[in-house]
Amino acid sequence: MRMYYADKLIPMHIPDGYLSPATCAALYATSAPFWYVALRRLKRLLTTRLIPLLSVFAAFSFLVMMFNLPLPGGTTGHALGVAIASIVLGPWASILAISIALLIQALFFGDGGVTTLGANCFNMAIVGSLVAYLVYRLLAGRAAITSSRRMVAAALAGYIAINAAAFFAAVELGIQPLLFRDPSGAPLYAPYPLSIAIPAMMIGHLSFAGLAEMVLSGGVVAYLQRANPSLLKLTAPGATGGDEEPRQVTWRGAWSGLKPLWTALALLLALTPLGILAGGAAWGEWGARDFSDAAARQRIAAASRNLAPPQAPQGLERLYSVWTAPFPQYAPAFVRRPALGYLLSAMFGSGIIILGCLIASSLFAHGGSSRAADSMKSHTGES
């Protein structure tokens, strides 16, 4: 069972051991200010309606990243869902939504490392969200909410954002053998330099993975333009069209008012077993044992311009298993059927995300009621 999922690793989710501790620390430190600003801005914008939206798009991104696509060279890729999150939520809430999805993937499924979580969040959540938002705002301009120009802008924003994220990941992997070597000169962490890492990552993302993100982003915006155009208002100030949101939304109404999105999310969840149909391993996410396996070494070389890999780098071997996820590679040990295990993992991961946001939403609603009651008391002179 575990071997079945060994070839289903997802690119751009850099595993433990592929980046040096110094690189990991630097990228955690780089990501921290963005998380801080995102939390501060989210607190100012916090509404009863925003938390359910945050949960929907965090779960949406989590599920989208489980659909692997075959890429040139026998590797696999996937969309991120980052552009549509930025378009609906704005870039700062999108940073938090994608970061939440990546955190759940790393902690529970070993998809992306714990030491490299800062790097993965920087690449996909931060770079992806900011690039997508800037491209969308620039291309959409002041077009009406229901204008086809917004659909095209969303599609291009998704394409550019996923490739920007892939480029940063490729650079982070590619600089490792230049900066970190053992006394014999062998790489300590990721083994391939920039000249191999960048083409290997970018060819697949400039083609299939980028096109998938393009179709996903444009398609969801086109759907929202018909089903719920008001969700596109936040990042379209001054644009005409779209129903205006009511000023007051109850806690229950905020969750039940997103039925089209919940329906789409449920459909995506049901289809997740299709995500394991694509064969081939993700470039740059080979297990430490793959470097000593003859067949795996051939696959690594074939995806890396036919340059044979070294033996397992010492640092990679030491750090690769620093965290043992409960359900590694979406393969619960108690489930024998891979498709069922993948589906249960999708249900568990998205359920954890929604449950956490549901609790936060309930606390926010309770806090809002308490503040309103205190305000009423102060106005009436009650003690």
Note the pLDDT tens digit of each residue in 30-45. Answer: 999 999 999 888 776 6
Instruction: List Cβ neighbours of 265 (8 Å cut-off, separation of 6 or more).
Output: 56, 59, 60, 63, 350
Cα(17)–Cα(113) distance, rounded to whole angstroms? Answer: 8
- pLDDT the model gives residue 341: 92
**How far is residue 8's CA from residue 68's CA, in Å, rounded to a whole number?**
8
Residue 111: burial class (beta carbons within 10 Å; 0-12, 13-18, 19+): buried
> Which of the 8 DSSP states describes residue 275?
G
| CA angle (170 as vertex; 168, 173 as ends), nearest 5 | 110
Between CA 369 and CA 50 the distance in angstroms is 17
Task: Please check whether residue 305 is in contact with residue 192, taking contact to mean a CB–CB distance below 8 angstroms.
Answer: no
pLDDT for 209 equals 85
**CATH code for 2-380?**
1.10.1760.20
∠ Cα 317 165 163 (to 5°): 120
> Which pTM was predicted?
0.87
Give the per-residue SS3 of 99-153: HHHHHHHHHHHCCCCCCCHHHHHHHHHHHHHHHHHHHHHHHHCCCCCCCHHHHHH
Kindly write down the DSSP assignment for every residue of 210-234, as one continuous string. Answer: HHHHHHHHHHHHHHHHHH-GGGGST
**CA–CA separation, 261 and 220 (whole Å):** 10
Q: Is 282 helix (H, G, I), strand (E, B) or coil?
A: coil
Predicted local confidence at residue 258, as pLDDT: 77
pLDDT, averaged per 10 consecutive residues of the chain (383 residues), comes to 37 88 98 94 68 89 86 68 94 94 95 95 97 97 94 97 96 95 92 92 87 94 91 86 56 64 89 76 77 86 83 91 91 90 94 85 58 43 47
| Chain-centroid distance, C-alpha 275 | 15
Distances (CA, A) of 122 to 95, 102, 173: 9, 11, 14
- Quick one: DSSP state of residue 323? S
Between CA 157 and CA 136 the distance in angstroms is 5
Extract the tokens encoding 37. Answer: 């600003």
Q: What is the pLDDT of residue 5?
A: 38
**Cα distance between residue 186 and residue 291, in whole Å:** 13
